[in-house]
Structure 1
């Protein structure tokens, strides 16, 4: 018995350093994992990453601030190259459940929600622990509850970026009193209160969240990224020539007679000197962006273009107009068919889907932007206008409750309520185009002089202190 005790004591003394070493290694591993988690952020978009610029900007800003970022979302369209090339950002593609195509609509929606909840939970649990989970809302069903649950398990703080209210968007389709909409509103209100930090896009939304939802949020206005800026005329020409290979409105109607000039519908380049200039008598370039859904009433713009065509035919001093409408969505083919039946003579309509890097160049080359965004809640702002202003592009925007936080009527653009009012504005802005003393140039001058804050500066002042405070 005594010998056994001695042997056990000797064995313990021999193993003690090994056990101590293992404990120290395990402790170091835990501390390293905690330190790694402290510098890791998960960004969740239950939508197309390529069409979620604000969440792309969050990921890039976090990466520039020293965080490693895992970005989860659908990859239907290409994100910005800067995002793809960053060694601090990993994109994890989510799979979207396609429509079942059978059974009641409520059942289809329920199956989709359950699938997304289980699938997102699995993907998040397979991701390294993070200090924060940034979530775009909407869509928040079922993502808010799933991200909150994972945060509880992994000690991650949930940050909700409120772009709008998901239930208000659903209400456009089903009606505000539909049981699904009422359930979605309850869900959004209940789980929205469980977040640790909240960001929102307008002061009006911040006040509504505080008064009606008991959610304290910080306003982070959408700001243009640094690549949204006026496009130099030589890059304009390069873009127009590129687009001209695919879209006739960008092609020149006349070939140059001397053979030494390269010409688009808007610009020409002397092949000997390389100098690029705008064509005399060129068309005006109008740009609008839409998701081709019912919440953005494209028919307003189409009706206004018809009235513009009538005014141009009547001999008014109006230029030809090229209207470029970017985006893709379920109603695009429907409206493209309507456009083709109009047989315009002074208006050409083009509906391209642009590469991410070409979109800022187009905005920086345009003469006027038109925004058709109609807010379902009246509390969000159209990011497309933010991008246009970054390019010093004046805007005509359909009016709603808090648009004044972005568009100042008569200063950096105009607001309208219907097609009649938009048609009058187009007539006024394009009369005697291009007029250096006209309203368009006045608005552009005001935008140049406004010294707009850019996304990186705004994010560092507003968000960075929130995620670096111990």
Structure 2
């Protein structure tokens, strides 16, 4: 059976090709008006095909993997709880939360990634072809693939081409555009191209230009809200990331079950003794922690340029040397680094060159339901997110805090809005400082966990305020106001 994604992709490629051919012909013949007429006819046909009666409906647009976009999934669930029908458009790949899949009010529309051009072509051709095909596919989805939505909420970044396409469709179909600013797309692009590159400059102009055309804006920090207003002329409302209730401390029974399952692919979680894992033991009186268990460190990442994992690897090397020197009692460490991304294979090859005896590193990919269980089983979280703009906050730390997990996080400008040094975790600036923090926190572990326990107690107030409460306070009033217009 042919999927909706395949139909839309075929139609989009056909339309993109036809419009490109028409453009070449029109320009060649001096008939720019012919090209404009063709575009007008196409848009009118699209509107005539899909113009149903307005209903309580919202479209969430993620130009990325839906399963790896937790904030947009949480938005979808919140809209559904308030009676909205939700069309969730984005790329497939990772499995979303079960609540998303099972919710009758949420319909997912997984897109296909645009086909790649031959590798020998210049980067600009790859970039241009991707943008054109994405724009065509989004146009077809938003005009033909879903009923008309009262609100189109899109995640930024990426900004190109989603903001412009959403704005155009909103103009044609009477939809309000809401942008959820997670970061700035141009700042991420500058990591690989440099701040002075023409594409970076164009991207910044584009984000500012089309961002101002939205009906409403939300963002993830007060620092970003202030920057949007001062430097972009955009009024936004801060909606801090907050974890849903699935992020909790994991009880020992569930820890034991998780470690047994993970040990099949990652032996560092297992044991050569029956009914045991490296961390837990099942007895006639229930599951207990191993008295000499290693410390479990967890870091999650998208394996991109804004996270320098050489810092963590260097700190772990120093920790290994301290264990060998035996100047203080330090436990063995299992460091689990979860996630997918472009630089994962590079770092895996670097990790493979390390010959540790007291430090064990693994890079599992976890299903959505197991990720919070691992965080809730860990002793310490590590965050290397530095933010390309210096204005967003790492959602991984939000998830860790939801599980009552203290963190060591690398410093950047607005980190203080989330991580309070010496209150709910520690902030470091370089690998030497991280190495010192690991040794201080884990000295005489697991018998001595006073500092870690103090951080956990201080996180209890954070844990009480969850996603639903924040969404109802920050986003729902905006949604209701737009819905009434």
TM norm structure 2: 0.87
Alignment of 1:13-32 (within 5 A): none
Query: What corresponds to 2:88 in structure 1?
Result: 71
Distance 1:286 1:451, change over 3 A: closer
The one of 163, 168, 172 equivalent to 2:187 is 168
Q: Deviation of residue 331 (structure 1)?
A: 1.7
Greater Rg over alpha carbons, structure: 1
Contact 1:41 1:70 in 2 (8 A): yes
Q: Deviation of residue 468 (structure 1)?
A: 1.2
Query: What corresponds to 1:281 in structure 2?
Result: 292
CA distance, structure 1, for counterparts of residue 164 and residue 460 of structure 2: 43
Query: What corresponds to 2:304 in structure 1?
Result: 293
Q: Deviation of residue 138 (structure 1)?
A: 0.1
1:131 aligned to 2:150? Answer: yes
> 1:144-170: CA deviations, max 9, x gaps?
000000001110000000000000000
Alignment of 1:40-59 (within 5 A): 40-59=57-76
CA distance, structure 2, for counterparts of residue 145 and residue 351 of structure 1: 37
Moved more, 440-449 or 454-463: 440-449
Aligned residues: 429
The one of 254, 257, 268 equivalent to 1:238 is 257
Query: What corresponds to 1:201 in structure 2?
Result: 220
Distance 1:228 1:416, change over 3 A: same
CA distance, structure 1, for counterparts of residue 444 and residue 115 of structure 2: 51
Q: Deviation of residue 337 (structure 1)?
A: 1.7
Contact 1:102 1:108 in 2 (8 A): no
Distance 1:141 1:442, change over 3 A: same
Q: Runs of at least 4 residues of structure 1 off by over 2 A? A: 32-35, 435-438, 448-452
Q: Deviation of residue 452 (structure 1)?
A: 3.4
> 1:251-295: CA deviations, max 9, x gaps?
11x425xxxxx100000011x44x010001100000001112222
The one of 438, 445, 470 equivalent to 2:450 is 438
TM norm structure 1: 0.90
The one of 371, 380, 403 equivalent to 1:359 is 371
Query: What corresponds to 1:216 in structure 2?
Result: 235
Aligned to 2:444, the other structure's residue is in SS state: coil
The one of 265, 282, 293 equivalent to 1:269 is 282
The one of 390, 395, 398 equivalent to 2:402 is 390
Query: What corresponds to 1:11 in structure 2?
Result: none
> 1:29-69: CA deviations, max 9, x gaps?
xxx94342xx0000000000010000000011000110000
Q: Deviation of residue 428 (structure 1)?
A: 0.4
Query: What corresponds to 1:309 in structure 2?
Result: 320
Query: What corresponds to 1:463 in structure 2?
Result: 475
1:345 aligned to 2:357? Answer: yes
The one of 404, 408, 413 equivalent to 2:420 is 408
CA distance, structure 2, for counterparts of residue 40 and residue 104 of structure 1: 42
CA distance, structure 2, for counterparts of residue 344 and residue 437 of structure 1: 24
Q: Deviation of residue 399 (structure 1)?
A: 0.4
Q: Deviation of residue 449 (structure 1)?
A: 4.5
Aligned to 2:464, the other structure's residue is in SS state: coil
Contact 1:412 1:447 in 2 (8 A): yes
Query: What corresponds to 1:95 in structure 2?
Result: 112
CA distance, structure 1, for counterparts of residue 395 and residue 53 of structure 2: 36
Aligned to 1:83, the other structure's residue is in SS state: helix
Structure 2: give runs of 5+ residues left out of the alignment: 1-50
Q: Deviation of residue 98 (structure 1)?
A: 3.5
Distance 1:449 1:69, change over 3 A: closer
Moved more, 97-106 or 393-402: 97-106
Query: What corresponds to 1:9 in structure 2?
Result: none
CA distance, structure 2, for counterparts of residue 430 and residue 283 of structure 1: 10
Distance 1:34 1:467, change over 3 A: farther
CA distance, structure 2, for counterparts of residue 166 and residue 181 of structure 1: 9
Q: Deviation of residue 103 (structure 1)?
A: 1.5
